[in-house]
Structure 1
């Protein structure tokens, strides 16, 4: 990667009412071998406990730590991600969820995969309940790849040469081989397709749908395989009752070769100026 291809990178972390997991995630961000220029918490209506965690960590954070919050009106992940992206001053956006512990080279790996005309989709390593509870209790932000309680063996390792080799070879046309908890985009490409589609009001498929629109816009999908490693903290599965409707939205984007969604990020661009101060917090 030519480091001069962009001036700033941002890590956007979505969260909702799990401050213990978010704190662990932020501790792993603080230990990155290469740091993003800004970290933005995309908070879908958490209580004040989440804000307290962020404020407690802010003085020790080596980069801007920004909290973008909205009222709790049910599952509004697409909306809060759009608001976070709109508030970013970075050229390159790395996106995760707040229930992840990052490998120390996570950001470094993603920046190495950045390439104009592409977006990146990564995977995750599942942690079982026992290991997750142990790490949450100890607030331990490092996971050893051979630790008991981990699944997805091949997803545990950051191997630079193999990551580079696999980037344009691993399921590059498969829109289901991606997870919104581990993706990266050029901000200008997100604006081009109007960001996330805010018709999604329940869990699932908003990440696949934006990938479809990016592909329809002429971008290519790259894989973060053997790189961009994240460890997923165990929690019970979320309610998937909204999936049939979300599947229909995805199918519509596929059949109609949709590029631009009607309700997306552009509605926020005039009201949000890029964040310049670490102390600034948005409540939208």
Structure 2
């Protein structure tokens, strides 16, 4: 099974630097790293190019012009560039626990997607974390809240059973799935523009297609670097699109990944 780590990013190279450094500490490395870049400047490109020399894993940097928040489009473009069987997806402001990738891979099953939670780094510590390039946290770290989420306890994580339907605990910054399951529903819906609901809509449609969900708890840990919220000016429209997905049981959308796949 070939695995790709997919990272979405936009113009925050200081945060992405810490994410990339945390990959170096993984007990298990992915077979490939995909960076879905929604219009960052050359500073981000230079960072990625430097990182290529530090890790013996292929990196595919997929960039699109910055004409507003178009996360669905850039994720589709990035996923279209890989032939990996399994995708582990994070945001470019999330530092990985050393067992993050291995935890996801230990729980992989056909017919399921996995979702984990995030430990939040407190706003007052963000500058210090970036300046010191801190990537190692634990239950007693001053920089974090949601401390119980930082506990890595393998046998407890096995208690969480698969389920149908989307959980209120779902976060798009920590999710993994079979690439085929995504292709079967035509990937992310590019009708979503602006912040919100593109990730949840994806897994709702997977669920409509029979894919079950499993929560990673006490495993698959990552640390989210606090930042100001993105504009939510499109959220009402995005909520409407997702509600239609739920009400009509939509599985496959028209404006998706198929336009980037090789024929």
- 77, 81, 85: which is aligned to 2:79? 85
- 108, 115, 124: which is aligned to 1:130? 124
Taking structure 2 as the reference length, the TM-score comes to: 0.97
Kindly indicate whether residue 239 of structure 2 is the aligned counterpart of residue 217 of structure 1: no
Alpha-carbon deviations, 1:113-159, whole Å to 9, x = none? Answer: 11100101111011112222111011122122211131112211121
**In structure 2, what is the equivalent of residue 238 of structure 1?**
230
Superposed displacement of residue 104, structure 1:
0.2
Alpha-carbon deviations, 1:90-115, whole Å to 9, x = none? Answer: 10000000101100000000001111
3-state SS in 1 of match to 2:236: helix
Q: How far, CA to CA, are the matches of 2:210 and 2:162 in structure 1?
A: 15
Kindly indicate whether residue 32 of structure 2 is the aligned counterpart of residue 10 of structure 1: no
Q: Is the 8 A contact 1:96 1:183 kept in 2?
A: yes
3-state SS in 1 of match to 2:246: helix
Q: Is the 8 A contact 2:28 2:101 kept in 1?
A: yes
Q: How far, CA to CA, are the matches of 2:186 and 2:44 in structure 1?
A: 28
5+ long unaligned stretches in structure 1: 1-6, 272-284
**In structure 1, what is the equivalent of residue 25 of structure 2?**
31
**In structure 2, what is the equivalent of residue 3 of structure 1?**
none
Q: Is the 8 A contact 1:39 1:63 kept in 2?
A: yes
Superposed displacement of residue 191, structure 1:
0.2
Q: How far, CA to CA, are the matches of 1:178 and 1:161 in structure 2?
A: 21
Alpha-carbon deviations, 1:162-214, whole Å to 9, x = none? Answer: 11221437xx5344321111000000000000010000101111111111100
Kindly indicate whether residue 119 of structure 2 is the aligned counterpart of residue 97 of structure 1: no
5+ long unaligned stretches in structure 2: none
Higher mean alpha-carbon deviation, 110-119 vs 126-135, is at 126-135
Q: Is the 8 A contact 1:12 1:41 kept in 2?
A: yes
Higher mean alpha-carbon deviation, 93-102 vs 238-247, is at 238-247
Higher mean alpha-carbon deviation, 126-135 vs 109-118, is at 126-135
**In structure 1, what is the equivalent of residue 179 of structure 2?**
187
**In structure 1, what is the equivalent of residue 111 of structure 2?**
117
Kindly indicate whether residue 150 of structure 2 is the aligned counterpart of residue 156 of structure 1: yes
**In structure 2, what is the equivalent of residue 71 of structure 1?**
65
Superposed displacement of residue 243, structure 1:
0.9
Taking structure 1 as the reference length, the TM-score comes to: 0.90
- Which 4+ residue blocks in structure 1 deviate beyond 2 angstroms? 172-177
Alpha-carbon deviations, 1:4-43, whole Å to 9, x = none? Answer: xxx2100000000000100100000111001100111100
- 203, 226, 229: which is aligned to 2:221? 229
Q: Is the 8 A contact 1:203 1:243 kept in 2?
A: yes
Q: Is the 8 A contact 2:149 2:218 kept in 1?
A: yes
Q: How far, CA to CA, are the matches of 2:13 and 2:220 in structure 1?
A: 23
Q: How far, CA to CA, are the matches of 1:153 and 1:60 in structure 2?
A: 31
3-state SS in 1 of match to 2:30: coil
Q: Is the 8 A contact 1:167 1:224 kept in 2?
A: no
Q: How far, CA to CA, are the matches of 1:61 and 1:89 in structure 2?
A: 20
